Structure formats: structure tokens, C-alpha cells
Amino acid sequence: MRGKSHIEWTESTWNPVTGCTKVSSGCKNCYAERMALRLKSMGSIRYQNGFDVSLHNDLIDLPKKWKSSRVIFVNSMSDLFHDSVPGSFIQAVFQTMNQCPQHTFQILTKRSARLKEMASELSWTSNIWMGVSVEDDRVYQRILDLQAVPSAVRFLSCEPLIGPCESMPLAGIHWVIVGGESGPRARPMKKEWVKSIQVQCSDAGSAFYFKQWGGVRKDLTGRELDGRTYDDMPDIALV
């Protein structure tokens, strides 16, 4: 369950958990749900349960077999901190990351309360980057929870950005990714929302990465903002 990722800000994906449930407006048109149901219809054994949360114990040690270093998005098809994922399973995933210093691991969650609650039970080696999804200003509590986590890199994924995010609490946030929703029912993203976040990142010293404008055909809308591409990474060298 590893492949070269089409996600611009990572290199590979690792999915020891698949499936999820919706928790906020950002989940409405979930790309992972669409993909999981498509894979189920194609007979993929990993998605025989569709988008129900499923644990894949045989994949926990997979990154240990990858000797050359790579940047790995953990659970692109799920949320590691979902309530249906046992704490012991989360700890096992972290142990694998701790034992693979050749890789950089990127984790993204919407379940920030559970992340904060479990943070002291996990080993935060320097190759682990922790992020939360922030689709609009109604979910800023996720940022506050993330700020309490002792991760070497803390980042935000403002994708899909479906509303303004003014006065974001960016203290201790190293990186912010912004992107519009894509796919058949994509909701629009306003340029002023993107520009506001870019200025806030500049003022706070947070790296700013503009992933896409999105839309039904994201390949046609591109990822330039005011004639330039923003693909800044945190000021911490990749492992």
C-alpha cells in the first residue's frame, strides 16, 4: 500500500488505516471516500469494507523495508486519530516512524482533541511532522490543540479552503498548505481568502505552500497566485 503520490507536497503514501467518517464541513466531498468506493468496486482487497474504518496490521512495518529516504504522508485514506483506531495501534504506527529515521513522516488529522490527549503517550522523533486540517475559521480549536503537541514540525492544511481564515493563531506553526476543493462538486475558493493566509504566514514566519485553485478541472486552474508559485517548505531540513 505504497505508491508514488500525486499529492504535490509529499512523495509517498502509507495507509495502515483506511476509511473514515465525516466530522465537519471540510469532509463534505471527501476525495478519499470517492476513491475508496471506486477501489471497492474494482475488487481491491484493502477496500472490501468500502470507506468503513479498517486496520491493516500487516502494513504497520512497511516503511522499514524502504531503505532510501522519502517523505511519506501517513494515512492519506483515513485519519490516524479516528476514535475507531485503538490507542495501541496508533502507538505501533509511531514506533515504526521512530525506527525509520531515514524517512520523514507527515500526519494530518481533524481529530485534534484526541491528538492532544494522546500526545504525551507518543514518541515525537524529529522525523515526524504533525498537522491539522483547517477549512475555515470555525475550526481554529484544531490549531490550538496542535500548538500543544511537541512535534518538530507543526503544519496546517487549509484544504479544501471553503471560507475565510482571518487572524489565524500561527505561533509555533511552521508550515501552511492552502488549496481549493477539486472534483465534480467542488465548492469555490475566493482569492482574498488565499491572499490573507499568505500575508499572515509572511508576518508570522510560517512557510506558505499554495497547492491548487481546484475546481472541477484542477489541471486547468493551476496553482499560481499573482503570477508566481508558492511551494515553500518548513525551515527544517528533510531527513
Domain ranges of the chain: 12-229
Please name which of 60, 64, 71, 53 lies closest in space to residue 100, comparing C-alpha atoms: 64
Q: Tell me the backbone φ, ψ of residue 201, rounded to 5 degrees.
A: -65, -40
Each residue's pLDDT tens digit, 30-85: 999 999 999 999 999 999 999 999 999 999 999 999 989 999 999 999 999 999 99
What pTM was computed for the model? 0.95
Give the cell for residue 150.
Answer: 511537541
Spatial distance between the Cα atoms of 204 and 200, rounded to a whole number of angstroms: 6
Q: What is the dotted CATH code of the domain comprising 12-229?
A: 3.80.30
Per-residue CA distances from 212 to 2, 149, 198, 225 (Å): 24, 28, 14, 9
238: pLDDT strictly greater than 60: no
Q: Which residues contact 122 (CB under 8 A, 6 or more apart)?
A: 90, 91, 94
**Strands, DSSP E only, in 66-219?**
71-74, 104-109, 128-133, 153-158, 175-179, 207-212
Each residue's pLDDT tens digit, 152-206: 999 999 999 999 999 999 999 999 999 999 999 999 999 999 999 999 999 999 9
Q: Which residues contact 189 (CB under 8 A, 6 or more apart)?
A: 160, 161, 162, 180, 181, 213, 214
- Beta carbons of 131 and 156 less than 8 angstroms apart: yes
